[in-house]
Structure 1
């Protein structure tokens, strides 16, 4: 065939392809949903996506102003994100069952689990059930006492501060190391929770899983199966951690085979709870190891972010430790009850819990929440059509700042909820103000049946670590004394990664241990 004819055929094919693509775009139900970040025309939407990555917070605020009690969409690099705006639409999202708007499908999409995790972890997510059953407020006190003990040791080891001298501490990585030690006291117990190799692998797994999933989401779903083995390194990190966990797993397996139900001092940690289910299922060491690492993934990053936000707030307002009796309140509680389950039971109604809830309310972990994937074509209450595969979410940033719910929500008020609790008419009203109690006005842990099952453990753990820091150290910001600005990357909100705070050891400090 002559070259001129080949060019004609190629041009005709290109015109047909563009026409079909334009027809599909024209008939796409998502086209009817207003776009906030720019044009939704094919090709131009990628320009809008670049803007969305840089200014997502502004775009959500703009969308909520323009389309209250409605929906709008924002372009992300790989897909459209449909945002439910206002309380009525939030309730629409919350009430839709998983068969329609799926939490599980969203996790698979966000983490690209088909390519990053071992198949049994995708098929059977029983650790989540274990968290719901065993990490409840009623069952947590004994576990948390061990976390408190580990937090005291980790804080003193990781924060290098001397009496009467101010020392600059890089906040995020330091808090990350402290949290890794403390939470793994409950996850894998002693001595593994102090094993530097294991802790490095737990933190490394978290970073690698985020990296791998982010890269794979940028690639077409059609080619992911072919390139995933070359892109993903999450399984390599898992294999590297197996030799560290293997001796402990095998020792526990042998002990159970010898003693059975007569094993009276059986470990009370998540590793053992996992082994109780994994061994009868015949799961391999690699699968068990990745289950433990995935627990760390679910806990370390979000807990570190929250704790770092709180450290920055306290350092910006050191009067919280002195003029307002945050430190005195902690010391008085411990002096009265000791560091016991009773102390833990009282903490939710005190200023420390109010500080935690205010931080989560103001800073949060993300600008949107309750992200779901449409498992089938849907028609919403307002007549909007949501095609199968669409990713939807709620505008948490808007609901958290609704003036009808709370006044001055854009201003940091650390003891807002302590005052509200003191004025509550009933005990149930006061309980609704706790940092781990979700509602349509308070969404950092989600809301409804898929609210974070580990939120009670995370809340107690954060307060245990922060209480230790408050009793042991004075804090302040250096330089101009202004709190480092939060980082917004797409929908995610993070504290400053390179922010520093000055720590000084108290001359006559109290201790939690």
Structure 2
């Protein structure tokens, strides 16, 4: 066979057949009702519905099985959807050795190949993000704020007060990357153009590579995955920037002790404090910084781009937001404590995540208990089953959120102010619940949500207070792109922005 296209198509077809056979030879889920046919060939229709219309497919099942389970076919497996508070709470509280969050996410990302096997074996970075990052948010907020201001000024080349047309997603990703890395690696590296570029590329490429690797037969992955993964390429570039920094930290620690004068207070230092064994080496720490960057940058960029589009699409929210921000900043300045008092800003972020979000599913787990996981209703899901809860459907349930198809940026601040304790955290964006799942819920709720919320709210407040935003030709909000469980803002759309 001399035709290269025929070889490619033949290989793709073989992989597709393998993925389909894999899906129907996996765990025995015959007791779980399916949306559509369970026939391997006929179910292809539902696979395509899942790939391009997951929110409609999940909502159909959510309405049909409101307090139970149903399954939908992905390319290479069945996904079991869990609905109803009782069963969802069992997911949230189940131990990792029965329902594994990490096994689920590692399968999705193919983490070992795309991010390194050390990340799979030791997840100590999650504890660092949960504790050290969160603990230092108040003291480091002035640096975060400084980077937001500087990044906006640097990436928006204004000349006067004219409207500037910009690619929304790419611009916001640069701002998010720089702001995050002010906390992760500090000055001057957080502003280095190549360091920003490689982290942006990595944030985009990991997910794409993971999906390609996922459909490969397991026995082929060790041979083909290294060619698909961006890891080695990006790691080599990142090492040029980070290796001298980490080596210098090690040298000073050895010579002057762990608490040496002017010791940087950033992610690199916090990781060094917690890393043990093989993970406390320069290459391993470089990889770990890259991974935290990936986890932070892509999700926050998607979320912030959604918010920018929402500000332009719903200009009636702008003046109330400006009044709140201006009043609080005038009295208290730019501090984390001041940011916490911006109820409307917090609410706008929460509503944007409810209405759009960056995915249609949440609380992903893999059953890793050898004899299966048994729910309180008596249903046992066998080892190897992948489960989720249909987040988009929950967030658009009129019994939970009145008028769910209406974007109300102050929905959550109204609920917060209507409670007997207006200062309660119940309706804050960082507070997870079975009805609000952008950050998951339970023992594996996103450990970085506190930093993400501070960063996103501070960027939104700066944007609203200092700029006007509109769509080109005052057009409609760009449509979201749904691909399997992802809800992505239009990455090619442009917006117009000007200084106030």
The two structures share one fold, judged by TM-score above 0.5: yes
Q: Indicate the residue corresponding to 2:10 in structure 1.
A: none
Q: Indicate the residue corresponding to 2:346 in structure 1.
A: 353
Q: CA deviation at 1:311?
A: 0.7
User: Can you give the 5+ residue segments of structure 2 that lack an aligned partner in the other structure?
Assistant: 1-20
Q: Indicate the residue corresponding to 1:484 in structure 2.
A: 478
Local SS of the residue matching 1:72: strand
Q: CA deviation at 1:25?
A: 6.1
Query: Which of 125, 135, 151 is the equivalent residue of 1:154?
Result: 151
Quote the Cα distance in structure 1 between the aligned partners of 2:91 and 2:280: 36
Pairing 1:143–2:137 present: no
The 8 Å contact of residues 164 and 496 in structure 2, kept in 1 or not, is answered as yes
The 8 Å contact of residues 336 and 454 in structure 2, kept in 1 or not, is answered as no
Q: Indicate the residue corresponding to 1:119 in structure 2.
A: 117
Q: CA deviation at 1:486?
A: 1.1
Q: Indicate the residue corresponding to 1:399 in structure 2.
A: 394
The 8 Å contact of residues 29 and 385 in structure 1, kept in 2 or not, is answered as no
The 8 Å contact of residues 477 and 483 in structure 1, kept in 2 or not, is answered as yes
Quote the Cα distance in structure 2 between the aligned partners of 1:26 and 1:457: 42
Local SS of the residue matching 1:211: helix
The 8 Å contact of residues 112 and 118 in structure 2, kept in 1 or not, is answered as no
Q: Indicate the residue corresponding to 1:4 in structure 2.
A: none
Indicate how the Cα distance of structure 1 residues 301 and 337 shifts in structure 2: closer, same or farther if over 3 A, else same.
same
Quote the Cα distance in structure 2 between the aligned partners of 1:389 and 1:26: 11
Query: Which of 366, 383, 391 is the equivalent residue of 1:388?
Result: 383
Q: Indicate the residue corresponding to 2:51 in structure 1.
A: 53
Q: Indicate the residue corresponding to 1:371 in structure 2.
A: 364
Matches within 5 A, 1:66-465: 66-136=64-134, 139-278=136-275, 281=278, 283-322=280-319, 325-347=320-342, 350-376=343-369, 377-427=372-422, 430-465=424-459
Indicate how the Cα distance of structure 1 residues 230 and 417 shifts in structure 2: closer, same or farther if over 3 A, else same.
closer
User: Can you give the 5+ residue segments of structure 1 that lack an aligned partner in the other structure?
Assistant: 1-20, 507-513
- 363-372 or 414-423, which moves further after superposition? 414-423
Quote the Cα distance in structure 2 between the aligned partners of 1:262 and 1:66: 59
Higher CA-based Rg: 1
Local SS of the residue matching 1:411: coil
Quote the Cα distance in structure 1 between the aligned partners of 2:226 and 2:414: 54
The 8 Å contact of residues 162 and 504 in structure 1, kept in 2 or not, is answered as no
The 8 Å contact of residues 360 and 486 in structure 2, kept in 1 or not, is answered as yes
Quote the Cα distance in structure 2 between the aligned partners of 1:405 and 1:27: 35
The 8 Å contact of residues 112 and 119 in structure 2, kept in 1 or not, is answered as no
Deviation by residue 1:126-165 (Cα, 9 ceiling, x = unmatched): 11111111233x5411122211110000011112334441
Indicate how the Cα distance of structure 1 residues 229 and 406 shifts in structure 2: closer, same or farther if over 3 A, else same.
closer
Quote the Cα distance in structure 2 between the aligned partners of 1:27 and 1:477: 47
Indicate how the Cα distance of structure 1 residues 450 and 314 shifts in structure 2: closer, same or farther if over 3 A, else same.
same
Q: CA deviation at 1:104?
A: 1.6
* Matched length: 478
The root-mean-square deviation of aligned C-alpha atoms, in Å, is 2.1
Indicate how the Cα distance of structure 1 residues 40 and 468 shifts in structure 2: closer, same or farther if over 3 A, else same.
same
